[in-house]
């Protein structure tokens, strides 16, 4: 039987703390060679991009494909710019285990990966979070990072005051001071941990603004080689860690454009997060280091979350079971 989980089903069973722990284990598995993430191809159709994000993991006992559709024209239609669905296939018998709506999974696992990077790369004393962009991804990041660092203040910038107000309400239960600032530069200069969470095509954050000890999670840009949130100087000044080298060199405009400009070489993006987690590579060396996690997301993060959702949903009788072979 194949389990179908709608957005409301996912919402009912998803536990953010469990996803964070699963994403951390998944990145460690990738470094240890028990999980696999080939670099995803991209298919362009008109102005849309379709990216099949593939992964397999021994710990999940499964392989998965998340088909991500990136459609900028949807903004004018009042629809999500990015939509996705996750298909999970059993490694034991090849059966389709589940079909899962990817909207909430993508937001939560993205924030979880940033929190894992923050846990292993940011200064332990970090207490001021900066977010560039104040939408749902900023809410998820604030919640996730608050579990790995003792945050006191969130500095936030958005083009929309209404979005900042929604962010403030959505994070009120965390008891943090939320301060809206008038520019990305002001947020960057004031933060201990900075998250860029916009679909920007041109750099919205510049490396010249980085102070000693800053940790950056550059994760908002879509998986397109011509989109970037940070400039080449940011990539040059940061000690860069990526989720997957192959994916980064295929889909990250932050990286590819910095290389094309001569700001960095390919060697600068050779360290993966899983290697830092397992101690196979050095992340932060001291409190003056600037560290930068550059990520466009990998299917392994989706698989790790999907495994949790499938097991929990079945244990609680949530979702719809369908016999695809009938």
The domain spans of the chain are 2-105+300-322, 120-297
* Residue range 280-313, pLDDT digits in tens: 999 999 999 999 999 999 999 999 999 999 999 9
What is the residue-averaged pLDDT of the chain? 96
CATH top class, domain 120-297: alpha beta
- pLDDT confidence bin for 268, thresholds 50/70/90: very high
CA distances (Å), origin 108, targets 1, 21, 283: 27, 12, 24
Name the nearest CA neighbour of 311 among 36, 46, 90.
Answer: 90
- The pLDDT value recorded for residue 230 is 97
pTM for the predicted model, two decimal places = 0.95
Exposed, middle or buried by CB within 10 Å (0-12, 13-18, 19+), for 4?
A: middle
Tell me the three state secondary structure of residue 158. coil
- The pLDDT value recorded for residue 109 is 98
Three-state SS sequence of 235-250: HHHCEEEECCHHHHHH
- What whole-number distance in Å separates Cα of residue 134 and Cα of residue 78? 18
- The pLDDT value recorded for residue 49 is 86
- What whole-number distance in Å separates Cα of residue 222 and Cα of residue 229? 10
* Neighbour count for residue 219 (Cβ, 10 Å): 23
- The pLDDT value recorded for residue 225 is 86
* Residue range 86-103, pLDDT digits in tens: 999 999 999 999 999 999
Strand 82-90 with 96-101, pairing: antiparallel
* Residue range 2-48, pLDDT digits in tens: 999 999 999 999 999 999 999 999 999 999 999 999 988 878 888 88
Find out whether 262 and 236 touch, Cβ atoms under 8 Å.
no
Name the nearest CA neighbour of 300 among 113, 138, 81, 143.
Answer: 113
Sign of CA dihedral 120, 124, 127, 128: negative
Find out whether 265 and 259 touch, Cβ atoms under 8 Å.
yes
Topology match between the domains 2-105+300-322 and 120-297? no
Mean pLDDT along residues 121-148: 98
Match domain 2-105+300-322 to its CATH number in 3.30.930.10, 3.40.190.10, 3.30.1780.10, 3.30.110.60.
Answer: 3.30.1780.10
Rg of the chain on CA atoms, in Å: 19
């Amino acid at each position: 039987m194949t389990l179908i989980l709608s957005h409301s089903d996912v919402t009912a069973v998803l536990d953010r703390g469990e996803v964070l722990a699963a994403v951390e284990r998944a990145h460690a598995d990738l470094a240890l060679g028990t999980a696999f993430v080939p670099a995803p191809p991209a298919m362009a159709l008109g102005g849309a991009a379709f990216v099949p994000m593939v992964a397999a993991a021994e710990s999940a006992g499964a392989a998965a494909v998340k088909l991500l559709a990136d459609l900028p024209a949807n903004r004018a239609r009042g629809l999500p710019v990015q939509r996705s669905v996750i298909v999970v296939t059993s490694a034991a018998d090849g059966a389709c285990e589940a079909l899962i709506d990817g909207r909430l999974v993508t937001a939560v696992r993205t924030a979880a990966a940033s929190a894992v990077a923050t846990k292993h790369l940011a200064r332990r004393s970090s207490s001021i979070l900066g977010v560039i962009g104040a939408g749902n991804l900023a809410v998820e990041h604030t919640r996730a990072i608050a579990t790995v660092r003792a945050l006191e203040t969130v500095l936030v910038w958005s083009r929309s005051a209404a979005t900042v107000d929604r962010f403030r309400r959505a994070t009120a239960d965390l008891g943090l001071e939320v301060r809206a600032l008038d520019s990305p530069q002001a947020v960057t200069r004031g933060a201990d941990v900075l998250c860029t969470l916009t679909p920007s095509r041109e750099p919205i954050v510049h490396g010249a603004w980085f102070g000693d000890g800053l940790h950056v999670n550059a994760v908002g840009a879509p998986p397109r080689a011509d989109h970037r949130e940070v400039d080449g100087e940011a990539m040059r000044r940061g000690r860069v860690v990526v989720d997957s080298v192959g994916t980064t060199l295929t889909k990250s405009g932050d990286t590819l454009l910095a290389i094309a400009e001569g700001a960095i070489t390919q060697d600068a993006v050779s360290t993966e997060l899983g290697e830092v987690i397992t101690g196979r590579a050095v992340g932060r060396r001291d409190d003056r280091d600037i560290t930068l996690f550059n990520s466009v997301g990998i299917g392994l993060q989706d698989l790790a979350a999907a495994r949790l959702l499938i097991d929990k949903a079945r244990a609680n009788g949530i979702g719809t079971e369908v016999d695809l072979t009938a």
